[in-house]
Amino acid sequence: MRGEVLDLEIVSDAIKGDRRAIARVLSSLENRSLLLDQIKMEFPSIFSQPGQESWSSIAITGAPGVGKSCLIDKVLIEWASKGIKTALLAIDPSSPRTGGALLGDRVRITAIDNEEYKDLIYIRSIATRKSSGSAPVIVSDMVEFLSAIGWQRVIIETVGSGQSEVRCAAITDRIVVVEGPARGDGVQAEKAGLLELADAVIVNKSDISGASQHASEIRESFELGLGQTPPIILTSAVSGDGIKEASSILLKLEDTGRSKRAKWRERLLAEYERKILESDKLEEILENLAIGSMSIEDALKVLGDD
């Protein structure tokens, strides 16, 4: 059964900073063979240290190919040069057919090859596994653990597309949306979606024409709406333009307080989905649904009784 074995020694090694132990604990959290609540029960002190920063996790999200990985690579270097310990959880999709995944984000992240900074950077590739919705919630346990053991910032690089990225973004303290030039006309910026949740917008590939115009369109769109306009930053991960500025803005990013309700809505949905996926009755319910001996309404009722 889940969550029965708690290997205290590995957890305490991880707290001391042993990288292999950290990796093992994250795997156990991911496999649900260890629950965050168990760690909290055994090591309450690490979760309530005075002087801990008010926020730690930041989601970097955006469409596929806008340059999230390359941008994160540069930000990792900038933060490491300031002595900030940063963990990166890079999420890639699992195949819905076979459950396998090819996790290729490390190919583009070269920051960790830097001898001087490698102790300040931890990179972990994560597959979305069974459901796109459950991954984010387990990631939130990983984030909480990493923050508790002294990683000052945890970056979550989301999958390039789909509803899951909103979900995943919603579990973090701050959300950064990466955009690129040639992403449609001004109307695209007006459309509702992920941008509404952004605490900062980065328009990457500023070396390509149209980027600054796209940034203005996004700014206009925000200014038409209610609330504070988040920082909108032009960068080029290729030439390095704007990277320094973006890194220091992201490090001290304020919560714009925009769409608090929308964020909580996503969190609630993610938690509810997790509740369903972790239910002991799930297998039985799916079996019954598949052979037609149970209706969706009955299934919801059974799940709701948990």
When asked if residue 125 is in the footprint of another protein (CB under 8 A), the reply is: yes
Q: Quick one: 94 or 140, whose CB is closer to another protein? A: 94
User: Min. distance of Cβ 10 from another protein in angstroms?
Assistant: 11
Q: Quick one: 112 or 170, whose CB is closer to another protein? A: 112
8-state DSSP, 95: P
Q: Which residues on neighbouring strands pair with residue 57, listed in sequence order?
A: 154
When asked if residue 222 is in the footprint of another protein (CB under 8 A), the reply is: no
From 122, 145, 151, 222, residue interacting with another protein (rule: CB under 8 A)? 122
Radius of gyration of the chain (CA): 20
CA 148 from chain center: how many Å? 17
The answer to whether residues 202 and 178 touch, using CB atoms and an 8 Å cutoff, is yes
When asked if residue 16 is in the footprint of another protein (CB under 8 A), the reply is: no
Q: How many angstroms separate the CA atoms of 180 and 193, rounded?
A: 16
The 10 Å CB-count burial string (b at 16+, else e) for 124-138 is bbbbbbebbbbbbbb
Query: Which positions from 97 through 116 interact with another protein, judged by CB under 8 A?
Result: 97-104, 106-108, 112-113
Q: Quick one: 91 or 201, whose CB is closer to another protein? A: 91
Angle between helices 8-16 and 19-31 (to 10 degrees): 130
User: Min. distance of Cβ 107 from another protein in angstroms?
Assistant: 4
Query: What's the CA angle centered on 167, arms 189 and 15, to 5 degrees?
Result: 125
Nearest one of 175, 72, 168 to 121, comparing CA atoms = 72
> For another protein, what does the binding mask look like between residues 75 and 94, x meaning CB under 8 A?
-------------------x
Q: Quick one: 202 or 299, whose CB is closer to another protein? A: 299
Count of residues near another protein by CB under 8 A: 33
Q: Quick one: 106 or 267, whose CB is closer to another protein? A: 106
Q: Where are the beta strands (DSSP E) in 141-299?
A: 153-157, 174-179, 200-203, 232-234
Q: Quick one: 32 or 275, whose CB is closer to another protein? A: 32
Q: How many angstroms separate the CA atoms of 126 and 28, rounded?
A: 13
Query: Which positions from 127 through 156 interact with another protein, judged by CB under 8 A?
Result: 127, 129-130
User: Min. distance of Cβ 271 from another protein in angstroms?
Assistant: 22
Q: Taking contact as CB under 8 A, which single stretch among the options 121-129, 191-199, 227-235, 271-279 is the one that binds another protein?
A: 121-129
- Contact positions vs another protein (CB under 8 A): 19-20, 22-24, 26-27, 31, 94-104, 106-108, 112-113, 118, 122-125, 127, 129-130, 286
